[in-house]
Homo-oligomer: A and B are copies of this chain.
């Protein structure tokens, strides 16, 4: 069974758990308590030199970086559960395009907003509201392009769901939950709102969104 070393509230741990659910891959979660700094202990960094969760141990094969793990598991079981990465070269290229869009045009703005508004307060720190406003402004024009793309096709890489769509869920859900001014970024754009409702209601996500 895949051993998942992670922290249940961690967004990156949840991405891997989500992929396991979508692909019907049994996994055992081995908790690494970030609140206690366990990811910075020598026994952990001997495996993951950056001191970050999650990593997996798949029958002796150790792999870290959540998006790399998600791809590895999706490709290892192509015909089990939901197909998440297309095998046709051009469809795969459009999946890669969508994955990069998620990383550089979504996550690059949404993750630091979630860091300021969720993770900092958990540690008793004040969010930098000026930075949040700046990031939110930059995100708006990116989401206009999302709305355009999602007006022409059902999902970000075409008409089938892929890992690129699902990769938006952990940070996107935390962002959406920040309140009306944040949820409106999705809700005010009809195609984006339709897509978000679709992916955020997938049974696999509902099963892990409150903890991997």
Which residues does A use to contact B, with CB under 8 Å? 45, 49-51, 61, 63-69, 71-72, 75-76, 89-90, 92-94, 96-97, 99-101, 103-105, 108, 142, 145, 148-149
- What is the bound-complex CA distance between A67 and B105, given in angstroms? 13
**Which residues does chain B contribute within 8 Å of A93, judged by CB atoms?**
61, 63, 68-69, 71-72
- Inter-chain contact B76/A89, CB cutoff 8 Å: yes
- Inter-chain contact A105/B61, CB cutoff 8 Å: no
- Inter-chain contact A50/B96, CB cutoff 8 Å: no
Most chain B Cβ neighbours within 10 Å, of A50, A61, A89, A149 = A50
- What is the bound-complex CA distance between A43 and B103, given in angstroms? 25
- 4 closest cross-chain pairs (CB), A and B: A65-B100, A68-B96, A49-B145, A72-B93
- Inter-chain contact B94/A63, CB cutoff 8 Å: yes
Among B61, B65, B76, the residue within 8 A (CB) of A96 is: B65
**Which residues does chain B contribute within 8 Å of A69, judged by CB atoms?**
93
Known interface pairs A75-B89, A105-B50, A142-B50. Does A68 touch B99 (Cβ–Cβ under 8 Å)? yes
- What is the bound-complex CA distance between A199 and B174, given in angstroms? 39
Among B61, B71, B100, the residue within 8 A (CB) of A90 is: B61
